[in-house]
Amino acid sequence: MLVQNFPFFSIVLAMFSGILSSVLNGKQARNVSLGVIGSTIIMSAAVFFWCLGNGESYTYMMGHFPAPWGNEIRAGVLEGLTALLFSVIMLLSVLGGMRHTFEDVEPSKVNLFFIMIDLMLSSLLALIYTNDLFTAYVFVEINTIAGCGLIMIRQKGRSFSAAIRYMIMSQLGSGLFLIGLTLLYDVTGHLLMSPAKETVASIEAAGRYEIPMLVILAVISVGLAIKSGLYPFHSWIPYTYGYATPTASAILSGLVSKGYIFLLMKIFYRVLGQENVIASRMVNVLFLFGLAGMIMGSVHAILEEDTRRMIAYSSVAQIGYIYMGIGLGTESGMVAAVFHMFTHSATKALLFISAVGLYEVSGEKKDFRSLRGAGYRNRLAGVGFTVGALSMVGFPMLSGFISKLLFATSALQSPHKMMLTLIGLAVSTVLNAIYFLRLVITLYGRAEQVAVKGKQRCSFVFGGAIVCFILLNLFLGLMSQPVVRAITEGLEMFD
Protein backbone atom coordinates (compact mmCIF):
# COMPACT_ATOMS: atom_id res chain seq x y z
CA MET A 1 0.00 0.00 0.00
CA LEU A 2 1.16 3.46 -0.84
CA VAL A 3 -0.11 4.79 2.47
CA GLN A 4 2.27 2.54 4.34
CA ASN A 5 5.18 4.36 2.81
CA PHE A 6 3.98 7.74 4.01
CA PRO A 7 5.68 7.78 7.43
CA PHE A 8 9.02 7.16 5.78
CA PHE A 9 8.27 9.67 3.03
CA SER A 10 7.34 12.40 5.44
CA ILE A 11 10.51 11.99 7.51
CA VAL A 12 12.78 11.93 4.52
CA LEU A 13 10.95 14.68 2.72
CA ALA A 14 11.35 17.00 5.67
CA MET A 15 15.01 16.07 6.00
CA PHE A 16 15.87 16.64 2.37
CA SER A 17 13.93 19.85 2.11
CA GLY A 18 16.27 21.09 4.82
CA ILE A 19 19.21 20.32 2.59
CA LEU A 20 17.49 21.95 -0.35
CA SER A 21 16.73 25.08 1.62
CA SER A 22 20.39 25.72 2.29
CA VAL A 23 20.81 26.98 -1.26
CA LEU A 24 17.57 28.97 -1.36
CA ASN A 25 16.84 32.44 -0.06
CA GLY A 26 14.59 33.10 2.90
CA LYS A 27 11.27 33.44 1.09
CA GLN A 28 11.84 30.34 -1.00
CA ALA A 29 12.93 28.37 2.02
CA ARG A 30 9.76 29.46 3.74
CA ASN A 31 7.64 28.24 0.87
CA VAL A 32 9.46 24.93 0.83
CA SER A 33 8.92 24.54 4.58
CA LEU A 34 5.24 25.35 4.36
CA GLY A 35 4.85 22.93 1.48
CA VAL A 36 6.60 20.18 3.38
CA ILE A 37 4.57 20.72 6.53
CA GLY A 38 1.40 20.82 4.47
CA SER A 39 2.19 17.56 2.74
CA THR A 40 3.14 16.03 6.10
CA ILE A 41 -0.30 16.93 7.38
CA ILE A 42 -1.91 15.17 4.45
CA MET A 43 0.32 12.12 4.74
CA SER A 44 -0.11 11.83 8.51
CA ALA A 45 -3.86 12.13 8.11
CA ALA A 46 -3.76 9.38 5.50
CA VAL A 47 -1.72 7.14 7.82
CA PHE A 48 -4.04 7.86 10.72
CA PHE A 49 -7.23 7.10 8.87
CA TRP A 50 -5.72 4.07 7.18
CA CYS A 51 -4.72 2.59 10.54
CA LEU A 52 -8.03 3.56 12.09
CA GLY A 53 -9.92 2.00 9.23
CA ASN A 54 -7.92 -1.24 9.27
CA GLY A 55 -7.77 -1.34 13.04
CA GLU A 56 -4.14 -2.42 13.03
CA SER A 57 -0.65 -1.04 13.10
CA TYR A 58 2.19 -2.05 10.82
CA THR A 59 5.95 -2.02 10.79
CA TYR A 60 7.79 -0.80 7.77
CA MET A 61 11.12 -2.33 6.93
CA MET A 62 13.71 0.10 5.67
CA GLY A 63 15.54 -1.28 2.65
CA HIS A 64 14.10 -4.78 3.10
CA PHE A 65 16.58 -5.92 5.72
CA PRO A 66 14.67 -8.15 8.14
CA ALA A 67 14.26 -7.62 11.83
CA PRO A 68 17.44 -8.08 13.84
CA TRP A 69 19.63 -6.11 11.43
CA GLY A 70 17.42 -3.73 9.52
CA ASN A 71 15.89 -0.50 10.62
CA GLU A 72 12.18 -0.26 11.16
CA ILE A 73 9.42 2.27 11.26
CA ARG A 74 6.17 1.56 12.96
CA ALA A 75 2.88 3.32 12.42
CA GLY A 76 -0.38 2.89 14.24
CA VAL A 77 -3.39 4.96 15.14
CA LEU A 78 -1.63 6.86 17.90
CA GLU A 79 1.46 7.59 15.82
CA GLY A 80 -0.68 8.82 12.95
CA LEU A 81 -2.80 11.00 15.20
CA THR A 82 0.19 12.49 16.98
CA ALA A 83 2.00 13.18 13.72
CA LEU A 84 -1.13 14.77 12.31
CA LEU A 85 -1.71 17.05 15.29
CA PHE A 86 1.96 17.93 15.59
CA SER A 87 2.25 18.92 11.96
CA VAL A 88 -0.95 20.96 12.11
CA ILE A 89 0.30 22.82 15.16
CA MET A 90 3.68 23.27 13.53
CA LEU A 91 2.08 24.81 10.46
CA LEU A 92 -0.03 27.17 12.51
CA SER A 93 2.93 28.18 14.69
CA VAL A 94 5.09 28.94 11.67
CA LEU A 95 2.31 30.95 10.08
CA GLY A 96 1.38 32.79 13.25
CA GLY A 97 4.91 33.89 14.04
CA MET A 98 5.87 34.52 10.43
CA ARG A 99 6.25 38.26 10.54
CA HIS A 100 8.28 38.15 13.70
CA THR A 101 10.51 35.53 12.21
CA PHE A 102 11.41 37.85 9.39
CA GLU A 103 11.93 40.72 11.84
CA ASP A 104 13.95 38.84 14.44
CA VAL A 105 16.21 36.93 12.13
CA GLU A 106 18.90 38.50 9.99
CA PRO A 107 17.77 38.49 6.36
CA SER A 108 20.71 36.40 5.25
CA LYS A 109 19.91 33.76 7.83
CA VAL A 110 16.20 33.37 7.31
CA ASN A 111 16.71 30.26 5.23
CA LEU A 112 18.68 28.76 8.12
CA PHE A 113 15.66 29.28 10.33
CA PHE A 114 13.52 27.30 7.96
CA ILE A 115 16.17 24.61 7.67
CA MET A 116 15.89 24.25 11.44
CA ILE A 117 12.12 24.03 11.13
CA ASP A 118 12.45 21.30 8.52
CA LEU A 119 14.93 19.36 10.62
CA MET A 120 12.74 19.79 13.66
CA LEU A 121 9.75 18.41 11.82
CA SER A 122 11.74 15.51 10.46
CA SER A 123 13.18 14.61 13.85
CA LEU A 124 9.80 14.90 15.57
CA LEU A 125 8.24 12.60 13.00
CA ALA A 126 11.11 10.18 13.42
CA LEU A 127 10.68 10.17 17.19
CA ILE A 128 7.03 9.42 16.69
CA TYR A 129 7.37 6.71 14.06
CA THR A 130 10.62 4.96 14.83
CA ASN A 131 10.70 1.38 15.97
CA ASP A 132 14.42 1.41 16.63
CA LEU A 133 16.03 2.71 19.76
CA PHE A 134 19.23 3.91 18.20
CA THR A 135 17.38 5.76 15.46
CA ALA A 136 15.45 7.37 18.25
CA TYR A 137 18.69 8.49 19.83
CA VAL A 138 20.03 9.91 16.57
CA PHE A 139 16.91 11.92 16.02
CA VAL A 140 16.87 13.06 19.63
CA GLU A 141 20.24 14.64 18.90
CA ILE A 142 19.05 16.15 15.62
CA ASN A 143 16.10 17.51 17.50
CA THR A 144 18.36 19.07 20.12
CA ILE A 145 20.54 20.72 17.51
CA ALA A 146 17.55 22.05 15.61
CA GLY A 147 16.12 23.33 18.86
CA CYS A 148 19.33 25.13 19.73
CA GLY A 149 19.42 26.67 16.29
CA LEU A 150 15.85 27.87 16.61
CA ILE A 151 16.62 29.57 19.90
CA MET A 152 19.94 31.06 18.89
CA ILE A 153 18.91 32.41 15.52
CA ARG A 154 17.28 35.36 17.18
CA GLN A 155 20.59 37.02 17.88
CA LYS A 156 19.28 39.43 20.43
CA GLY A 157 19.48 39.84 24.15
CA ARG A 158 19.59 36.71 26.16
CA SER A 159 18.88 34.18 23.47
CA PHE A 160 22.54 33.08 23.45
CA SER A 161 22.58 32.25 27.11
CA ALA A 162 19.18 30.64 26.66
CA ALA A 163 20.55 28.46 23.88
CA ILE A 164 23.55 27.48 25.96
CA ARG A 165 21.33 26.54 28.87
CA TYR A 166 19.16 24.53 26.56
CA MET A 167 22.20 22.85 25.03
CA ILE A 168 23.68 21.84 28.36
CA MET A 169 20.48 20.53 29.88
CA SER A 170 19.49 18.78 26.68
CA GLN A 171 22.87 17.13 26.33
CA LEU A 172 22.63 15.96 29.89
CA GLY A 173 19.30 14.38 29.05
CA SER A 174 20.56 12.86 25.82
CA GLY A 175 23.62 11.52 27.62
CA LEU A 176 21.51 9.77 30.21
CA PHE A 177 19.27 8.44 27.48
CA LEU A 178 22.30 7.09 25.64
CA ILE A 179 23.63 5.42 28.77
CA GLY A 180 20.27 3.80 29.24
CA LEU A 181 20.28 2.56 25.68
CA THR A 182 23.79 1.17 26.03
CA LEU A 183 22.84 -0.74 29.14
CA LEU A 184 19.72 -2.00 27.48
CA TYR A 185 21.73 -3.17 24.49
CA ASP A 186 24.12 -4.92 26.83
CA VAL A 187 21.32 -6.72 28.58
CA THR A 188 19.12 -7.58 25.65
CA GLY A 189 21.37 -7.49 22.63
CA HIS A 190 18.76 -5.67 20.59
CA LEU A 191 18.11 -2.13 19.48
CA LEU A 192 14.89 -2.77 17.62
CA MET A 193 11.95 -2.32 19.93
CA SER A 194 9.99 -5.50 19.26
CA PRO A 195 12.80 -8.06 19.73
CA ALA A 196 14.13 -6.04 22.64
CA LYS A 197 10.76 -6.32 24.30
CA GLU A 198 10.68 -10.06 23.89
CA THR A 199 14.10 -10.37 25.48
CA VAL A 200 13.09 -8.04 28.31
CA ALA A 201 10.03 -10.18 28.92
CA SER A 202 12.10 -13.34 29.13
CA ILE A 203 14.62 -11.63 31.41
CA GLU A 204 11.87 -10.43 33.69
CA ALA A 205 10.26 -13.82 33.69
CA ALA A 206 13.55 -15.40 34.70
CA GLY A 207 13.98 -12.76 37.38
CA ARG A 208 17.50 -11.87 36.23
CA TYR A 209 19.18 -8.48 35.88
CA GLU A 210 16.82 -6.84 38.34
CA ILE A 211 19.07 -3.96 39.24
CA PRO A 212 20.35 -3.23 35.73
CA MET A 213 16.77 -3.16 34.47
CA LEU A 214 15.83 -0.70 37.18
CA VAL A 215 18.83 1.45 36.33
CA ILE A 216 17.91 1.37 32.64
CA LEU A 217 14.37 2.41 33.42
CA ALA A 218 15.47 5.17 35.77
CA VAL A 219 18.17 6.55 33.47
CA ILE A 220 15.96 6.59 30.40
CA SER A 221 13.05 8.16 32.31
CA VAL A 222 15.19 10.82 33.89
CA GLY A 223 17.00 11.57 30.65
CA LEU A 224 13.81 12.13 28.74
CA ALA A 225 12.24 13.92 31.69
CA ILE A 226 15.10 16.43 31.66
CA LYS A 227 14.63 16.96 27.97
CA SER A 228 10.91 17.51 28.32
CA GLY A 229 11.31 19.76 31.33
CA LEU A 230 9.79 17.85 34.22
CA TYR A 231 9.78 19.92 37.37
CA PRO A 232 13.13 19.69 39.15
CA PHE A 233 14.87 19.76 35.74
CA HIS A 234 12.94 22.70 34.39
CA SER A 235 15.45 25.50 34.86
CA TRP A 236 16.08 25.88 31.13
CA ILE A 237 12.43 26.25 30.20
CA PRO A 238 11.74 29.89 31.07
CA TYR A 239 14.89 31.00 29.27
CA THR A 240 14.40 29.07 26.08
CA TYR A 241 10.70 29.68 25.74
CA GLY A 242 10.94 33.20 27.03
CA TYR A 243 13.66 34.57 24.80
CA ALA A 244 13.32 32.71 21.51
CA THR A 245 11.45 34.03 18.53
CA PRO A 246 7.70 33.33 18.87
CA THR A 247 7.49 30.49 16.37
CA ALA A 248 10.42 28.83 18.10
CA SER A 249 8.81 29.24 21.52
CA ALA A 250 5.55 27.81 20.28
CA ILE A 251 7.24 24.85 18.64
CA LEU A 252 9.65 24.15 21.47
CA SER A 253 7.02 24.28 24.18
CA GLY A 254 4.18 22.81 22.20
CA LEU A 255 5.88 20.05 20.28
CA VAL A 256 9.47 19.29 21.16
CA SER A 257 8.91 18.45 24.82
CA LYS A 258 5.93 16.33 23.77
CA GLY A 259 8.04 14.44 21.27
CA TYR A 260 10.28 13.22 24.10
CA ILE A 261 7.31 12.30 26.25
CA PHE A 262 5.87 10.36 23.37
CA LEU A 263 9.17 8.54 22.97
CA LEU A 264 9.20 7.74 26.68
CA MET A 265 5.69 6.31 26.49
CA LYS A 266 6.66 4.29 23.48
CA ILE A 267 9.68 2.88 25.28
CA PHE A 268 7.53 2.07 28.30
CA TYR A 269 5.02 0.20 26.21
CA ARG A 270 7.08 -1.26 23.46
CA VAL A 271 10.43 -2.03 25.10
CA LEU A 272 10.33 -2.19 28.86
CA GLY A 273 6.75 -3.32 29.16
CA GLN A 274 4.20 -1.14 30.90
CA GLU A 275 3.50 -3.75 33.59
CA ASN A 276 7.21 -3.90 34.48
CA VAL A 277 7.35 -0.13 34.67
CA ILE A 278 4.41 -0.09 37.05
CA ALA A 279 5.82 -2.92 39.11
CA SER A 280 9.15 -1.12 39.47
CA ARG A 281 7.46 1.85 41.19
CA MET A 282 9.22 4.21 38.83
CA VAL A 283 5.74 5.51 38.02
CA ASN A 284 5.36 6.67 41.60
CA VAL A 285 8.46 8.80 41.23
CA LEU A 286 7.16 10.29 38.01
CA PHE A 287 3.82 10.84 39.69
CA LEU A 288 5.33 12.78 42.57
CA PHE A 289 7.58 14.86 40.34
CA GLY A 290 4.62 15.54 38.10
CA LEU A 291 2.52 16.64 41.03
CA ALA A 292 5.30 18.85 42.32
CA GLY A 293 5.64 20.35 38.85
CA MET A 294 1.93 21.11 38.64
CA ILE A 295 2.09 23.16 41.78
CA MET A 296 5.57 24.67 41.61
CA GLY A 297 5.37 25.59 37.93
CA SER A 298 2.26 27.60 38.64
CA VAL A 299 3.76 29.19 41.72
CA HIS A 300 6.75 30.31 39.67
CA ALA A 301 4.41 31.63 37.01
CA ILE A 302 2.53 33.68 39.57
CA LEU A 303 5.75 35.26 40.77
CA GLU A 304 6.84 36.06 37.21
CA GLU A 305 6.34 39.51 35.69
CA ASP A 306 7.53 38.82 32.16
CA THR A 307 4.59 37.52 30.15
CA ARG A 308 6.43 35.01 28.03
CA ARG A 309 8.36 33.60 30.94
CA MET A 310 5.05 33.31 32.72
CA ILE A 311 3.64 31.24 29.89
CA ALA A 312 6.85 29.22 29.91
CA TYR A 313 6.52 28.43 33.60
CA SER A 314 2.97 27.42 32.93
CA SER A 315 4.46 24.80 30.57
CA VAL A 316 6.35 23.38 33.53
CA ALA A 317 3.03 22.93 35.28
CA GLN A 318 1.41 21.35 32.26
CA ILE A 319 4.29 18.95 31.71
CA GLY A 320 3.73 18.06 35.34
CA TYR A 321 0.13 17.15 34.52
CA ILE A 322 1.29 14.83 31.76
CA TYR A 323 3.82 13.05 33.96
CA MET A 324 1.25 12.80 36.69
CA GLY A 325 -1.04 11.02 34.24
CA ILE A 326 1.74 8.63 33.26
CA GLY A 327 2.53 8.17 36.94
CA LEU A 328 -0.99 7.05 37.75
CA GLY A 329 0.07 3.81 36.17
CA THR A 330 -3.28 2.96 34.68
CA GLU A 331 -4.49 2.66 31.14
CA SER A 332 -6.88 5.56 31.57
CA GLY A 333 -4.18 7.65 33.19
CA MET A 334 -2.04 7.13 30.13
CA VAL A 335 -4.94 8.10 27.86
CA ALA A 336 -5.41 11.25 29.89
CA ALA A 337 -1.69 12.01 29.64
CA VAL A 338 -1.70 11.62 25.85
CA PHE A 339 -4.82 13.73 25.54
CA HIS A 340 -3.28 16.39 27.70
CA MET A 341 -0.23 16.29 25.48
CA PHE A 342 -2.46 17.27 22.58
CA THR A 343 -4.34 19.83 24.64
CA HIS A 344 -1.18 21.44 25.82
CA SER A 345 0.41 21.50 22.37
CA ALA A 346 -2.60 23.21 20.88
CA THR A 347 -3.13 25.61 23.74
CA LYS A 348 0.42 26.60 24.53
CA ALA A 349 1.22 27.33 20.91
CA LEU A 350 -1.92 29.45 20.76
CA LEU A 351 -0.85 31.33 23.87
CA PHE A 352 2.64 32.06 22.60
CA ILE A 353 1.44 33.17 19.19
CA SER A 354 -1.35 35.38 20.47
CA ALA A 355 0.93 36.86 23.12
CA VAL A 356 3.08 38.07 20.26
CA GLY A 357 0.13 39.78 18.66
CA LEU A 358 -0.50 41.54 21.95
CA TYR A 359 3.13 42.56 22.34
CA GLU A 360 3.22 44.14 18.94
CA VAL A 361 0.53 46.61 19.86
CA SER A 362 1.96 47.42 23.28
CA GLY A 363 5.44 48.60 22.51
CA GLU A 364 7.20 45.23 22.83
CA LYS A 365 7.78 45.49 26.55
CA LYS A 366 8.30 42.42 28.66
CA ASP A 367 6.35 43.32 31.78
CA PHE A 368 2.83 41.97 31.67
CA ARG A 369 1.42 45.23 32.94
CA SER A 370 2.42 46.93 29.72
CA LEU A 371 -0.20 44.80 28.00
CA ARG A 372 -2.98 46.78 29.66
CA GLY A 373 -5.75 47.31 27.16
CA ALA A 374 -3.98 45.31 24.47
CA GLY A 375 -7.09 43.20 24.10
CA TYR A 376 -8.80 46.18 22.53
CA ARG A 377 -5.94 47.07 20.25
CA ASN A 378 -5.59 43.63 18.75
CA ARG A 379 -8.94 42.00 19.27
CA LEU A 380 -8.23 38.69 17.65
CA ALA A 381 -5.03 38.13 19.60
CA GLY A 382 -6.91 39.10 22.76
CA VAL A 383 -9.64 36.57 22.07
CA GLY A 384 -7.04 33.96 21.22
CA PHE A 385 -5.18 34.54 24.44
CA THR A 386 -8.39 34.46 26.46
CA VAL A 387 -9.46 31.18 24.89
CA GLY A 388 -6.03 29.69 25.55
CA ALA A 389 -6.03 30.89 29.13
CA LEU A 390 -9.52 29.55 29.77
CA SER A 391 -8.59 26.24 28.25
CA MET A 392 -5.60 25.99 30.57
CA VAL A 393 -7.86 26.81 33.51
CA GLY A 394 -10.16 24.00 32.43
CA PHE A 395 -13.19 25.85 31.18
CA PRO A 396 -15.91 23.52 29.88
CA MET A 397 -16.17 23.24 26.09
CA LEU A 398 -12.44 23.82 25.69
CA SER A 399 -9.84 21.09 25.52
CA GLY A 400 -8.39 21.72 28.96
CA PHE A 401 -11.65 20.69 30.57
CA ILE A 402 -11.61 17.29 28.92
CA SER A 403 -8.01 16.75 30.06
CA LYS A 404 -8.96 17.62 33.59
CA LEU A 405 -11.97 15.36 33.42
CA LEU A 406 -9.90 12.47 32.11
CA PHE A 407 -7.27 12.97 34.78
CA ALA A 408 -9.87 13.12 37.53
CA THR A 409 -11.84 10.10 36.39
CA SER A 410 -8.69 8.05 35.92
CA ALA A 411 -7.48 9.10 39.36
CA LEU A 412 -10.57 7.47 40.83
CA GLN A 413 -9.29 4.12 39.61
CA SER A 414 -6.07 4.19 41.60
CA PRO A 415 -7.17 4.55 45.19
CA HIS A 416 -3.77 5.36 46.69
CA LYS A 417 -3.11 8.29 44.44
CA MET A 418 -6.69 9.50 44.17
CA MET A 419 -6.83 12.18 46.82
CA LEU A 420 -3.40 13.59 45.97
CA THR A 421 -4.32 13.82 42.30
CA LEU A 422 -7.67 15.41 42.90
CA ILE A 423 -6.40 17.97 45.35
CA GLY A 424 -3.45 18.64 43.08
CA LEU A 425 -5.79 19.22 40.16
CA ALA A 426 -7.99 21.58 42.11
CA VAL A 427 -5.13 23.56 43.62
CA SER A 428 -3.30 23.83 40.35
CA THR A 429 -6.49 25.03 38.67
CA VAL A 430 -6.74 27.78 41.23
CA LEU A 431 -3.11 28.74 40.66
CA ASN A 432 -3.60 28.64 36.89
CA ALA A 433 -6.56 30.90 37.29
CA ILE A 434 -4.52 33.36 39.29
CA TYR A 435 -1.83 34.05 36.75
CA PHE A 436 -3.72 33.48 33.53
CA LEU A 437 -6.79 35.44 34.47
CA ARG A 438 -4.69 38.20 35.96
CA LEU A 439 -3.25 38.57 32.51
CA VAL A 440 -6.65 38.43 30.86
CA ILE A 441 -7.96 41.16 33.15
CA THR A 442 -4.91 43.22 32.31
CA LEU A 443 -5.62 42.77 28.63
CA TYR A 444 -9.07 44.22 29.04
CA GLY A 445 -8.24 46.84 31.63
CA ARG A 446 -8.38 50.50 30.76
CA ALA A 447 -5.70 51.34 28.26
CA GLU A 448 -3.31 54.08 29.09
CA GLN A 449 -1.99 55.73 26.01
CA VAL A 450 0.75 53.47 24.81
CA ALA A 451 3.10 54.57 22.12
CA VAL A 452 2.33 52.00 19.50
CA LYS A 453 4.64 51.42 16.67
CA GLY A 454 4.30 49.13 13.76
CA LYS A 455 1.16 48.03 12.08
CA GLN A 456 -2.04 48.35 14.05
CA ARG A 457 -4.01 45.73 12.25
CA CYS A 458 -2.90 42.18 12.48
CA SER A 459 -2.05 40.48 9.26
CA PHE A 460 -4.36 38.06 7.56
CA VAL A 461 -2.04 35.10 8.07
CA PHE A 462 -1.67 35.81 11.78
CA GLY A 463 -5.43 36.13 12.18
CA GLY A 464 -6.01 32.92 10.28
CA ALA A 465 -3.52 31.06 12.46
CA ILE A 466 -5.19 32.31 15.64
CA VAL A 467 -8.65 31.37 14.40
CA CYS A 468 -7.44 27.90 13.43
CA PHE A 469 -5.85 27.45 16.84
CA ILE A 470 -9.09 28.46 18.55
CA LEU A 471 -11.03 26.05 16.38
CA LEU A 472 -8.55 23.29 17.18
CA ASN A 473 -9.07 23.95 20.87
CA LEU A 474 -12.84 23.89 20.48
CA PHE A 475 -12.59 20.72 18.44
CA LEU A 476 -10.57 18.99 21.15
CA GLY A 477 -13.03 20.26 23.74
CA LEU A 478 -16.29 19.45 22.03
CA MET A 479 -15.52 16.43 19.86
CA SER A 480 -13.10 14.77 22.21
CA GLN A 481 -14.72 11.39 22.21
CA PRO A 482 -13.39 10.14 18.85
CA VAL A 483 -9.95 11.49 19.75
CA VAL A 484 -9.96 9.68 23.09
CA ARG A 485 -11.17 6.52 21.41
CA ALA A 486 -8.37 6.76 18.89
CA ILE A 487 -5.83 7.27 21.68
CA THR A 488 -7.15 4.24 23.55
CA GLU A 489 -7.01 2.14 20.40
CA GLY A 490 -3.55 3.39 19.63
CA LEU A 491 -2.26 2.53 23.08
CA GLU A 492 -3.69 -0.96 22.74
CA MET A 493 -1.85 -1.33 19.45
CA PHE A 494 1.40 -0.49 21.24
CA ASP A 495 1.45 -3.88 22.91
Partner 1 sequence: MNQILLCVPALLPLAGVMALLISGIFGSRRETDSGKDLMEKYLFWYVAALTLANSLVLWRLILWSGEGESLVLFRLYGELKVMFCLDKMGKVFAGVISVLWPLAVLYSFEYMKGEKRKYTFFSYYLMTYGVTAGIALSGNLMTLYLFYELLTLATFPLVLFPMTKDALKASRRYLYYSIGGAAFAFLGLVFVLTFSITGNTAFLPGGILDLGRANSRRNTLLFIYLLAFFGFGVKAVVFPCHRWLPLATVAPTPVTALLHAVAVVKSGAFAILRLTYFSFGTEFLLGSWAQWTVMAASMVTILYGSTMAVREAHWKRRLAYSTISNLSYILLAASMMSSLGLAASLCHMVVHAFMKICSFFCAGAVMHQTGKTYIYELDGLGRKMPITFGCLTVASLSLIGIPMFAGFISKWNIAGAAFACGMEGLERFGSWGLLPFGAVAVLLYSALMTAVYMLTVVIRGYFPQISRQAGGDLSRPGARQNTPDIRQGNLDPGWRMLLPLVIFAAVIIGVGLHSQPLTEFLMVIGGEGA
Contact residues for partner 1, defined by CB under 8 A: 379, 390, 393-397, 401-402, 404-405, 408-409, 412, 418-419, 422, 425-427, 429-430, 433-434, 437-438, 441, 444-446, 477-478, 480-481, 484
Give Cα 318 distance to the centre of its chain: 11
Q: Kindly give the pairing relationship between strand 58-62 and strand 71-75.
A: antiparallel
Where is 73: in which H helix or E strand?
strand 71-75
Q: Are 121 and 17 in contact (CB under 8 A)?
A: no
State in angstroms the smallest separation of the CB of 400 from partner 1. 11
State in angstroms the smallest separation of the CB of 189 from partner 1. 45
Q: For residues 280 and 421, which CB has a smaller minimum distance to partner 1 in the complex?
A: 421
What is the DSSP secondary structure assignment for residue 447, as one 8-state letter?
P
**Helix pair 159-188, 210-228: axis angle to 10 deg:** 160
The alpha-carbon radius of gyration of the chain (Å, integer) is 21
State in angstroms the smallest separation of the CB of 258 from partner 1. 22
Question: What residue type is 45 in one-letter code?
Answer: A
Q: For residues 81 and 433, which CB has a smaller minimum distance to partner 1 in the complex?
A: 433
Please tell me the distance from the alpha carbon of residue 169 to that of residue 399, in angstroms, as a whole number.
31
State in angstroms the smallest separation of the CB of 331 from partner 1. 16
State in angstroms the smallest separation of the CB of 325 from partner 1. 15
Please tell me the distance from the alpha carbon of residue 80 to that of residue 90, in angstroms, as a whole number.
15
List, in order, residues 6 or more apart from 167 with CB less than 8 Å away: 144, 148
Closest C-alpha among 376, 312, 350 to residue 462: 350
State in angstroms the smallest separation of the CB of 77 from partner 1. 19
State in angstroms the smallest separation of the CB of 422 from partner 1. 5
β-pair partners for 73: 60, 130
CA triplet 238, 240, 242: central angle to 5 degrees?
55
List, in order, residues 6 or more apart from 210 with CB less than 8 Å away: none
Q: For residues 126 and 334, which CB has a smaller minimum distance to partner 1 in the complex?
A: 334
